Amino acid sequence: MNTRPTDRLAIAVAQLNPIVGDIAGNADKARRARAAAARDGADLVAFPELFLSGYPPEDLVLKPAFQAACRAAIETLARETGDGGPALLIGTPWVEEGKPYNAYCMLDRGAISAVRLKVNLPNYGVFDERRVFAPGSPPGPVSFRGVRIGLPVCEDIWTEWGDYEDVVETLTESGAELLIVPNGSPYSRDKDEVRQNIVVARVTESGVPLIYVNQVGGQDELVFDGASFGLHADRTLGFQLAAFREVVTTLRWQRVGNAWRCVEGPIVPVEEGDRADYCACMLGLRDYVNKNGFSGVVLGLSGGIDSALATTLATDALGADRVHCVMLPYRFTSSRSIEDAANVAKVLARSGLRVVLIDADTHAGSCTGIERSALSTNEAPSNTSSSWPPTWLT
């Protein structure tokens, strides 16, 4: 029996921070996002590119055990959608005929209802997807509640950036009414403007509104800033999510005439310039420490501008209780350097920062407010010293 296509869709954008290789943890995070979206009345929850495996998974996708674990997790998540709650759009490595693909799967009503494979694989800068993935064929849209939704994956909309297939044109000619694009797009200054220009071009060419879902979080040397957004067919901004923060937000879309519009969604200002750079540094440092299981960081506090900035950044990113500073002045160290280091320590000590000073000859009394050890610069550290090593290093 034919069902009349819906005129309203509640689409939750899950702008989240996966961990590469943590399939079980990422799947649990997807479950929590789905539960939150269900409470908000969502019909569909869209996750970023390769969310299940974490992005970029690199050579993990070539390991049969990893491929099998991703497939098992996707099938389990699919079965769970049989509870009548929201459907999922989630990225995962996917193997067909022995070839690994970068896939975006629709999980709905207890099954994997559709799989779309990334066509254009980037092979420049930090990307080397052609080495680990096979390219998919240009896809058609999927049908969800009678609505034809195109699912180009990240680089599939960056037509100007390579000798690429025009995936959006294929989807438009196949009747797509709405585009949902999962991304793993790393941060650089003014990158949000670059993305919006790309999306404006695709919307102008296709006449179809587009939802841009981006990952957030740090992964080794990469930082993903999120800042997911959507444009209407007339290129006006439908919604804008925050940058550098995880968020699950349900957007209300409605068919107005022959086009879909976001009738309820936030427009959040995103950080720009130096502030954005600082936020990216904080996020990258925080995730590098947390995802590698480190308890904190140790920094040398010299009194110079560079160490002051590094200490402040680490304190903002991790909290003062996880930042430990050491100063080792020598007889040639100027008193001004020690005073400057002391001032930095005093300011940040209000939030709990701890600094250990290894006393240097005549400078022992000039560092008021900094915790001191009795160690002289002419002595080697001794395990029998009551003040060495500091308790936070043991």
Please state the domain extents for the chain: 8-272, 295-393
Q: Mean per-residue pLDDT for 95-102?
A: 97
Q: Is the pLDDT of residue 351 over 90?
A: no
373 bridge partner residues: 358
Question: Once rounded to an integer, what is the mean pLDDT over residues 211-239?
Answer: 97
249-274: average pLDDT: 95
Give the lowest-confidence range in 235-244, 344-353, 372-381: 372-381
CA distance 103 to 210: 19
Structural tokens at position 366: 């000039």
Biggest CA–CA distance in the chain, Å, is: 90
pLDDT tier at 352, thresholds 50, 70, 90: low
Is residue 95 classed as helix, strand or coil in its secondary structure? strand
> Minimal CA–CA distance to 100: which of 151, 64, 51?
64
Q: What is the pLDDT of residue 246?
A: 98
Is 338 within 8 Å of 327 (Cβ atoms)? yes
367-388 residues labelled b (16+ CB within 10 A) or e (exposed): beebebbebeeeeeeeeeeeeb
pLDDT one-digit tens code per residue, 327-342: 777 777 778 887 888 7
- Residues with a catalytic annotation lie at 49, 118, 154
Environment class of residue 250 by beta-carbon count within 10 Å: exposed (0-12), middle (13-18) or buried (19+)?
buried
Torsion on CA atoms 204, 207, 213, 218, rounded to nearest 10: -10
- Mean pLDDT, residues 300-306 taken together: 86
Count of C-beta atoms within a 10 Å radius of residue 350: 8
Does 184 have pLDDT greater than 90?
Answer: yes
Looking at domain 295-393, its CATH architecture is 3-Layer(aba) Sandwich (3.40)
Calculate mean pLDDT across residues 273-281: 97
What are residue 102's phi and psi, to 5 degrees? -90, 105
Entry pTM: 0.88
Strand 147-150 vs strand 178-183: parallel, antiparallel, or unpaired? Answer: parallel
Tokens of 135: 């390219």
CATH fold of 8-272: Nitrilase/N-carbamoyl-D-aminoacid amidohydrolase (3.60.110)
How does residue 356 score in pLDDT terms, banded at 50, 70 and 90? Answer: low
Give the type of residue at 94: W
HSE on the CB side for 293, CA within 13 Å?
0
pLDDT given for residue 238 in this prediction: 97
Q: What is the pLDDT of residues 6-52, one digit of tens each?
A: 999 999 999 999 999 999 999 999 999 999 999 999 999 999 999 99
% of the chain residues with pLDDT over 90 = 74
- pLDDT beyond 70 at 316: yes
* Least confident residue range of 140-144, 192-196, 319-323, 341-345: 341-345
HSE-CB of 256 using CA atoms within 13 angstroms: 12
Return the sign of the alpha-carbon dihedral for residues 202, 126, 137, 9: negative
Separation of alpha carbons 291 and 229, rounded Å: 27
pLDDT at residue number 302: 84
Residue 205 near residue 7 (C-beta atoms within 8 A)? no
Give pLDDT, residue 380.
33
Question: Do residues 301 and 326 make contact, with C-beta atoms less than 8 angstroms apart?
Answer: yes
Position 4 confidence tier, pLDDT thresholds 50, 70, 90: confident
Helix (H) or strand (E) holding 311: helix 305-318
Q: Average pLDDT of the chain?
A: 88
